[in-house]
Amino acid sequence: MNKLAVAALLGLSLGLSGCVISVDGDGKYGHHSDWKDKEHKNRKYISRLHQGTGYEEILNRMGIADFNELHSKGDDTYQVLYFRTQRIDEDGVTTKNECTPLVFKNSVLVGWGESAYDAISD
């Protein structure tokens, strides 16, 4: 009876075995990874921006920024939202140099990119 139980257990375990396919973070086997999709979506939306667009409208469209800064100059408030648009390091961490900054003055978009950020950080 003991031999029969071992044979049944062995047969059951072989029947339940499976195969696991792992897809790496670079999207091998034809799959896009989440970060590629996010970067593409962000670049696409940023390429269609217009000066004067409201802060809330952009947040509703693009979602949560990867980084968010607030600056004051005189009576004006500047908010800078950073959205990931390019991969530089393969470390799994998003950094500001992998993002495009969107610059808002008093909740209105005044520019995007490094030159727009540099203009308010002087």
Say if 35 falls within a structural domain.
yes
Domain that holds residue 39: 31-120
Say if 37 falls within a structural domain.
yes
Say if 95 falls within a structural domain.
yes
d(CA 54, CA 62): 12
Question: Which pLDDT band holds residue 3 (cuts at 50, 70, 90)?
Answer: low
Nearest-10 Cα torsion for 30, 36, 38, 41: -80
Q: Which tens digits make up the pLDDT trace of 97-121?
A: 899 999 999 999 999 999 999 999 8
Tokens representing residue 111 in the block: 């520019």
| DSSP conformational letter for 31 | P
Q: Which tens digits make up the pLDDT trace of 36-75?
A: 888 999 999 999 999 999 999 999 999 999 999 999 999 9
52 against 89, higher pLDDT:
52
Domain containing 68 — which CATH number?
3.30.1450.10
pTM over 0.85: no
d(CA 37, CA 95): 17
Say if 54 falls within a structural domain.
yes
Give me the residue label for tokens 């799959």.
31
pLDDT of residue 23: 43
Say if 79 falls within a structural domain.
yes
Q: How many domains does the chain have?
A: 1
Encode 21-33: b = buried (16+ Cβ within 10 Å), e = exposed: eeeeeeeeeeeee
